[in-house]
Amino acid sequence: MARKQKLKVFRTPIGFHDAYVAAPSQKAALEAWGADSNLFAQGIAEQVEDPKLTEAALERPGEVVKVLRGSEDEHVAALGKGGGGKKSPSTGSAGPPPLQKQGRMKTVRLPKPSRDALDAAEEALEKAEKNQRKSLRKIDEQMERLDRERRDLQRRHESERDELAEERDRARKDYEREMRAWNKQVVLNQKGKKLLTS
């Protein structure tokens, strides 16, 4: 039996939240976040070992747990009146606070994936199969009709051939009878001529 891999907890900032995930490796964490690039190499993600911060993620292995970073007042202040980023008092740069600043733990479930594309693909496949069955049924019906026509034509030809064969046989008998009578008459005529000439 394979030994279960030990889970580590990783985090990366997403907006005003930190996204935590309990995974066996950095690669698994990147997949859970849906990252297109290596956030660890870019310094945007890191491993977390603080038990207070890892508790929620370890309770839900593989699930992304979002934690609000800072208070709502700090978030509004960071946006500024015109929607631009105000300088953060802790770093002096625009944007969200660094990873080290933590707020209260909050589990946010990701939205359920939509199966619209799957439903559409299944519907298209079902429609194609239905059309194929319909086309094949038409061809089968045509083949059955042609087969019936062939059998009917064959029966008519056989009947006609039998009638013509009977007529031929009658004609042959008549011909042979007449030939016998003709041959007989020729022989008699030849005998009569001999008698007359002798």
Backbone angles phi, psi at 197, to 5 degrees: -80, -15
85 and 79 Cβ atoms separated by less than 8 Å: yes
**DSSP secondary structure string for all residues of 68-93:** E-S-HHHHHHHH-TTSSPPBPTTTSS
Parse the chain into domains and list their residue ranges: 1-111, 114-198
Q: Please, are residues 90 and 101 in contact by the beta-carbon 8 Å criterion? A: yes
* pLDDT tens-place values along the chain, 198 residues long: 445 678 899 999 988 889 999 999 999 999 998 988 899 999 989 999 999 888 988 999 989 999 887 666 665 666 664 444 444 444 444 444 444 444 455 556 678 788 889 889 988 998 998 898 989 898 999 999 998 999 988 899 888 899 899 989 999 999 989 888 888 888 887 776 654 444
Distance CA 85, CA 75 (A): 10
